Structure 1
Amino acid sequence: MNLGERLARGDETALSECYTAFAPLVRHHASRLVPRHAVDDVVQVVFLDVWRSRRRFDPARGLEPWLLAIARRRAIDLLRAEARHSRRATPLVDAARVPDAGPAVDAACDIRDALAALPAPQRQALVLAHFGQLTQREIAHRLDIPLGTVKARTARGLRRLRELL
């Protein structure tokens, strides 16, 4: 029985083998469609979607085209979500223009600027975690994304903030 047939039957080891075999291809395909910071998120969502929709897979049609079609759809979904988010974003008040603001406000301005420089998904995860005081599980539920994606976005966002600050 080939990999596609095993995957369609729900064999969990087939998913692992599928990831090992096709993740580089999916990553390359996604990198042509989305910004570099979002490629890993797309790859993760693709293989989650592969597992969730394995019963709809027709092994006679080929695994690679099916995976790439899912990757393309997920990349487009991500781009649309980022576009919606950027249209809803409201600018933060520029505290630097307040007279006698002091060093605390300077630090707040630095943090605001660093947050603004982050990719939208990472910024959203950090803002919900720190200002919204939500757990990663609550963020995943609120955004309807996998917990692992929230953890990855948070870690990448914090790493990038450290570089910026």
Structure 2
Amino acid sequence: MSLQQTLILLKPDAVQRRLCGKILGRLEDRGLKIVALKMLKVTKELAAQHYAEHVKKPFYPQLEEFITSGPVVSLIVEGPGAVQVVRDMMGKTNCRESAPGTIRGDYGLSRQVNLIHGSDSPESAQKEIAIYFRPEEILSYDSTLAEWVCAGDEK
């Protein structure tokens, strides 16, 4: 298992519903290490850069309107297999189809207003991280709990 970083956005609905602390707690409880964190307002230009593959699709205007409607919390977490771990924790895109115990399954009811974004592959994670964070904003540090989260050969 390789150590990975992945981008997470806590979307405007998560911020407005004051769920950021609960979601961050779940990520940390799982053993993922936060290596970057900030709050920002996604502009139309930033949305178009992030969702470049969707810009020409019919649903894009609604997606852009939602992601630019309020502040988001952007973060990078690190851990073994972090991309898939976060995807599994998030649940299906449509919250109504997400299993209980997932973030979307526990806190959401919508397909579009769905609380959280996580990179869908290690390649997407690299691209998305570069959109939201400058290299100097990403911190590398030793966690005093690391040996209690994973065996040495899993890091």
Bin the TM-score by the shorter chain.
under 0.3
Larger RCO of the pair (alpha carbons < 8 Å, separation 6+): 2
User: What's the TM-score once normalised by structure 2's chain length?
Assistant: 0.25
Highest Rg: 1 or 2?
Answer: 1
Structure having the larger proportion of residues in strand: 2
User: What's the TM-score once normalised by structure 1's chain length?
Assistant: 0.24
